[in-house]
Amino acid sequence: MKKKELLVRYSEAEDLGHLPPDEQSLVAASREMTTKAYAPYSTFYVGAAVLLANGETIVGSNQENGAYPSGLCAERVAVFAASAMFPGMPMVKIAISARSKRIEMEEPVSPCGACRQVMLEYEALQKGPIKMLLSKESGRILVIEKVSDLLPLAFLGGRLKKEEA
C-alpha cells in the first residue's frame, strides 16, 4: 500500500489591515454577526457574511436549540439566505468569525464538515470558487482561495442526480 498526503493551501493576513477593503468589510460584518448569534448552550458565537457577485452582502449567525441538533451554523444560515434571496447569484467570498465565553480562541475558526459540504455544493453549482476568510474576534485571518481546498476527497452531490429518460 502506498501512502499519500493531502495538503491544504492557505494564506495568512496578520490582521484586518492586511486585507483589501472589500475583505476587511466582509470580515468586520462576520465579526459583528457573532454578537447576534443565539448560542446559550455552547456560548460559542459564530457569524458569517457572504459577498455575492452582484455586490450584496448576506449575513448569518449560529442559532442553537435545546433540542439538539435542531440549530444551524452561521455559514449555512448565510449561504441558504443568499441562495433564497438571490437564486443563482454566484457567491464570491464568505467570511466566518467566532468568539467564545468559555474558551480562549487561539486559532481562527474553521467551518464544520456539514458547512464545508454545503459550501462545496454551491461552489460546484456556480462553477467558480468561493473564497473563504476565517477569523476570530481579532488578529490573524486565514485566507482559503476556494472551498474545495478545505474539503479534499469530497463527496459531490451531483453524482446523485438521475438522468431523465
pLDDT in tens, 106-145: 999 999 999 999 999 999 999 999 999 999 999 999 999 9
Task: Give alpha helix (H) positions in 86-164.
Answer: 113-126, 147-150
Looking at 75, 106, 107, 121, which residue is catalytic? Answer: 75
Query: Can you list the domains of the chain with their CATH numbers?
Result: 11-150 (3.40.140.10)
Task: Please state the pTM of the whole predicted model.
Answer: 0.91
How far is it, in rounded angstroms, from Cα 65 to Cα 69? 7
Tell me if residue 32 is catalytic. no
- Higher pLDDT: 154 or 158? It is 154
How far is it, in rounded angstroms, from Cα 17 to Cα 36? 24
Residues belonging to the chain: 165
Asked if 61 and 38 touch (Cβ cutoff 8 Å), the reply is: yes
